[in-house]
Structure 1
Amino acid sequence: MRLLSTTLLALAFLGSFPTACCSKPSPSANSCQSPDDMPTDPGTVQVTQLGSGSLDAAGQTWPYQLLRLEVPGRAATYAQWFPPRKPGVSPIVVLTKPYDGIAWTGETVDAKWAARGSGLHPDDSEPHFGPGSSSIAYTPTTPELVASESFVYLFHDFGVLAVFGRFYAGGDLQNDRDDMNAGMRFLAQAPNVDTTRIGIFGGSWGGYEALYAAADAPATVVPSVGVALSPLSDFAQEVDYVSRVVPSRVSDAALRSRYQQFFEPYFRRIYATTGGDPLSSGTDYTRWTAAHLAATVQTPFLILHDDWDTLIPVEHTRALVSQAPHRFTPMYFQNTAAVDWNTLPPDHGPLLSTHGNVIITLSLGHLLVKLGGAEQPLYIPYGAGTVGAWLRGVRASQEQDRDVSDVAPRLLELTDPRVQMLEATQGTLQPGAAFVAEQVNAIWGTSFTAATVRTALEPGLPTP
């Protein structure tokens, strides 16, 4: 379930595009630890450095490491680590990467897929692949691309850990969950990590990985904030949705077939862990439901979801939020027209695509405000006109008497005194409060100022 790229608008920050260099996987692995420091506790993880490089941007350099993480009894996990550069401890952002194809691991499976290149290919590294199985999409990435995506966090002196789930390499749900857990275990023993300020970000299948990574995190590194875009939160509900709800909504036979073909590789991975359809005897979804997350996740999450999502329906997020509203805060993108399921393709919804830039702006605003220092300037990128276009849709929802109470809190975060809004193409800066006042005034005809907008929005948005 692929989602929009998280390549950030801040690539134009200060007029300097980031470039990464010196990425050199070593011919022989170099351990990040001396033999005396190698972990023996099964709760820890063995770390091997396979390569290194650096990101050069805005006149600065951020080194990174390419790592193999090994927990006894599990398959190896791979990650790209940007250690904090400042003395002392620094905030960390974990990026979940379920689909990115990496070629630097030394594993045969990665070399095979890298040779295939970008595109649709048989899902033949998954052990249950066979006649009738669907193909999957493969998208190669490089350490340089991951470095560019991490730039906005690095510029704020955060460390960044990108954890690769390698969907194309096969495995099952538990394998993906183990990958994310290995990343969190790594943070528990990595130096210079501010364990009270760890954030995690992921979308779709990566949103599932973010939620479950937080659920499984060692007690010392439970993330303090998370953002999940259209996350898969309940696998029993998801199987039921595809198997029974979609056929009840979609009468077009060709469109039904598209759903079945799309989800077939996911079902193989789900069933390999749970034993089959949740209505079948002998299956076990105990650790794969919203109830499990509500009982185990201690991290407060912002969850953004389009209400016309046909891959992971918004009802699943509503159900998760209802079970733990103190942990899960929703932000819904609401379509104003009447829905026709026979004309919607299998994707995460039209507004998620239309307002992709806004989603990144709001997500970054949430993470940076929660993780940034008390006096630290926070630079949040946006695209010219994008926030206004989104707010026009919000006002249209208001006029239909829909609940839009989830919008004002996101705008209030952008009015934080530390926030500077960065227009990505021009590199111009504006205080967050002034920016929000300008956007709200243009849509609702108000006359708020930078000094009054925070107080004005605390009760909610203006009425139309």
Structure 2
Amino acid sequence: MRLFSTTLLSLALLGTVPTACCSSTSSASNSCQGPDVTPTDPGSVQVTQLGAGELNAAGQKWPYQLLKLEVPGRAATYAQWFPPRKPGVSPTVLITKPYDGITWTGEAVDAKWASRGNGLHPDDSEPHHGPGSSPIAFTPTTPEIISGEAFIYLAHDFGVLAVFGRFYAGGDLQNDRDDMNAGMRFLAQTSSVDTTRIGVFGGSWGGYEALYAAADAPASVIPKVGVAVSPLSDFAQEVDYVSRVVPSRVSDPAMRTRYQQFFEPYFRRIFATTGGDPVTTPGADYSRWDAAHLLDKVQTPFLILHDDWDTLIPVEHTRALVSLAPHRYTPLYFQNAGPVNWNTLAPDHGPTLAANGTVLITLSVAHLIVKLGAAEQTLLIPHADGTVRTWLQGVRALQRQDRDVTDVAPRLLELTDPRVQMYEATVGSVQPGAAFVAAQVNAVWGTAFTDATIRAALESGLPTP
């Protein structure tokens, strides 16, 4: 359940390769010892700095710290922290990093996986691994790569905290949830953080982590805004989907096997927390791992982006979550034309989302920065030349099929915020967001809007096809 990150567009905006240096000196157990219930009070988190470095880019420097965060009774959490450079308090974005492999913790498990390198490997750091267990993918990262992803927020004088879930290191759902909670606790006790302007971002398994970071956030640091891409929001429904819905849709035995092998490592982690299949296992408890729990716990408004042909986390789960709290969860659906052929559609997060990956990044980053930026601040939003227009051409085609695309206009409207400047690195263009959006809409719908009229027009929705 992997997703691309914002690194690509951030580095395009950066225009240079960031450089950094760091060191590590510590180690800790990776055993999963979290409590049954994740407390939401700030509590205490012990912070140990394991290394430091700086992002050198665009003629400026942004220092960062490599941190070990320890909450009593839990396994250690690791994070890369870019403190705000401005005096006083600043907005901060927490980015969930469930899969990224890090080498600077001092733990043997990280050294083992680093020695294996990028690729598929046995999931043998997970306690319930055994004969027949599926391998998992390992993707190493570096402080430089994380710096590139953070740059778009750093350039706006935000702080950035990347929290590593380290899926490859084993553990269970509670362990990942504890990691995100440790990150939120760190923000709660960090004096340079504007606790009224915190954002959280994650995709897929990291989308689950983003939702639960908000659910468990101490009262003093409840995020102002969240973005979740293809998030896993209901684990009971996910187990039911893989175990019973997929077999009812997929008749090809080879494709069924692909699904089972892919999800086997996830099921081990889910069952380690919940006790087993919610339908067939007596006593299995999903009460803290479903949409109803999120409804009760999450106060943060979230933008959720989801492909309607997502075969890993079906879009029906997001539709159900939105229906429970439409005032809190705002969806943007990447829709596909035509019927789904389940026997040929590979297990992934959907073809339209993949084809519009840079658009997804543009819209996600814009949503966070517009919500967190200062009233008089220039907000620079990256985009890739031609991609927004191509996406909108697909949206217009959906309109002609009488599909509901009312969720698109609000996202374009956000780009017309008077503070927004759209930046495209490869052609070096910068233009006001309203002028950019007007040009895209006019090119696709044949309209004649201007930067002065596009906002009012979009408030009524998209033009007719």
* Interval of TM-score (by shorter of Structure 1 and Structure 2): over 0.9
Aligned to 2:102: 102
Question: 1:27/1:322 Cα in 2 relative to 1: closer, same or farther (>3 Å)?
Answer: closer
In the TM superposition, residue 230 of structure 1 has moved relative to its aligned partner by: 0.1
CA distance, structure 1, for counterparts of residue 172 and residue 428 of structure 2: 43
What secondary structure does 1:150 align onto?
helix
Rounded to whole Å, the distance in 1 between the matches of 2:45 and 2:270 is 26
For 1:291 and 1:335, locate their aligned partners in 2 and report how far apart those are by CA, in whole Å.
29
Q: CA deviation at 1:42?
A: 7.9
Deviation readout 1:240-274 (Å, 9 max, x if unpaired): 00000000000000000000000000000000000
> Does the Cα contact within 8 Å between 1:408 and 1:458 map onto a contact in 2?
yes
SS in structure 1 at match of 2:344: coil
> Normalising by the residue count of structure 1, what TM-score does the alignment of the two structures yield?
0.96
For structure 2, the 5+ residue unaligned runs are 29-40
Deviation track 1:99-120 (CA, whole Å, cap 9, x = no partner) reads 0000100001001000111110
8 Å CA contact retained: 2:242, 2:260: yes
CA distance in 2, matches of 1:427, 1:297: 40
Q: Quick check: 1:242 aligned with 2:242? A: yes
Q: Who is 1:318 aligned against?
A: 319
- CA distance in 2 between counterparts of 1:420 and 1:145 reads 25
Q: Please list the CA deviations of residues 268-315 of structure 1 after superposition, one character each: whole Å capped at 9, or x if unmatched.
A: 000000000001211100000011101110000000000000000000
User: In structure 2, the residue corresponding to 1:94 is in which secondary structure?
Assistant: strand
1:122 matched to 2:122: yes
Kindly state the Cα deviation for residue 43 of structure 1 after the two structures are TM-superposed.
1.1
Structure 2 Cα separation of the partners of residues 161 and 27 of structure 1: 20
Letter in 2 for 1:398: Q
1:234-383 equivalences in 2 (<5 Å): 234-279=234-279, 280-383=281-384
Contact 1:369 1:413 in 2 (8 A): yes
Partner Cα distance (1:199, 1:111) in 2? 31
What TM-score results when the alignment is normalised by the length of structure 2? 0.96
Map 1:57-72; keep pairs closer than 5 Å: 57-72=57-72
Query: Cα offset for 1:13?
Result: 2.8
**Equivalent pair of 2:42/2:218 in contact (CA under 8 Å):** no
* Deviations 1:13-37, CA, capped at 9 Å, x for gaps: 36x31412222235799xxxxxxxx
- Distance, in Å, in 1 between the alignment partners of 2:312 and 2:12 is 32
Contact 2:26 2:106 in 1 (8 A): no
Does the aligned pair in 2 maintain the 1:8–1:152 contact within 8 Å?
no
Residue in structure 2 matched with residue 163 of structure 1 by the alignment: 163
Who is 1:208 aligned against? Answer: 208
Counterpart residue identity of residue 442, structure 1: A
What residue number does 1:447 align with?
Answer: 448
Sort the Cα spacing of 1:130 and 1:359 in 2 relative to 1 into closer, same or farther, 3 A.
Answer: same
1:193 matches 2:225: no
- Whether the 8 Å CA contact 2:300–2:328 is kept in 1: the answer is yes
Could you tell me whether the CA contact under 8 Å between 2:10 and 2:150 is conserved in 1?
Answer: no
CA deviations 1:61-120 (Å, max 9, x no partner) are 000000000000000000000000000100000000000000100001001000111110
| 1:388 aligned partner, one-letter code | R
Q: What amino acid is aligned across from residue 23 of structure 2 in structure 1?
A: K
Residue 149 (structure 1) aligned with residue 168 (structure 2): no
Q: What does residue 18 of structure 2 align with?
A: 19
Q: CA deviation at 1:47?
A: 0.3
The AA in structure 1 aligned to 2:227 is V
C-alpha deviations, 1:147-199, integer Å up to 9, x for none? 11100000000000000000000000000000000000000001210000000
Q: Distance in 1 between matches of 2:98 and 2:204?
A: 9
Q: Does the CA contact (< 8 Å) of 1:13 and 1:58 recur in 2?
A: no
For each residue in 1:320-342, what CA deviation from the matched residue of structure 2 results, as whole angstroms up to 9, or x when unmatched?
A: 00001111000000001221111
Q: Distance in 2 between matches of 1:380 and 1:427?
A: 13
- Give aligned-pair identity as a percent: 78
Match of 1:230 in 2: 230
- 8 Å CA contact 1:13–1:427 kept in 2: the answer is no
Q: Does the 8 Å contact 1:42/1:72 carry over to 2? A: no
Match of 1:458 in 2: 459
Give, as a single letter, the amino acid of the residue that structure 1 aligns with 2:445: W
Q: How far off is 1:10 after superposition?
A: 3.3
Equivalences, count:
452
How much has 1:8 moved relative to structure 2?
Answer: 3.6
d(CA) in 1 for partners of 2:16, 2:155:
12
Are the aligned partners of 1:8 and 1:360 in contact in 2 as well (CA < 8 Å)? no
| Counterparts of 1:12 and 1:114, CA distance in 2 | 27
Q: Distance in 1 between matches of 2:427 and 2:142?
A: 27
Residues of 2 paired with 1:386 and 1:349: CA distance?
17
In structure 1, C-alpha distance between the alignment counterparts of 2:20 and 2:161, rounded to whole Å: 18
For 1:339 and 1:91, the matched residues in 2 are separated by 42
Residue 28 and residue 271 in structure 1: after superposition, are their counterparts in 2 closer, same or farther (change >3 A)?
closer
Give, as a single letter, the amino acid of the residue that structure 1 aligns with 2:429.
T
Q: Secondary structure at the match of 2:66?
A: strand
d(CA) in 2 for partners of 1:10, 1:138: 23
The corresponding residue for 1:6 is: 6
Q: Which residue of 2 aligns with 1:36?
A: none
| Runs ≥4 residues deviating over 6 A | none
Retained in 2: the 8 A contact 1:305–1:332? Answer: yes
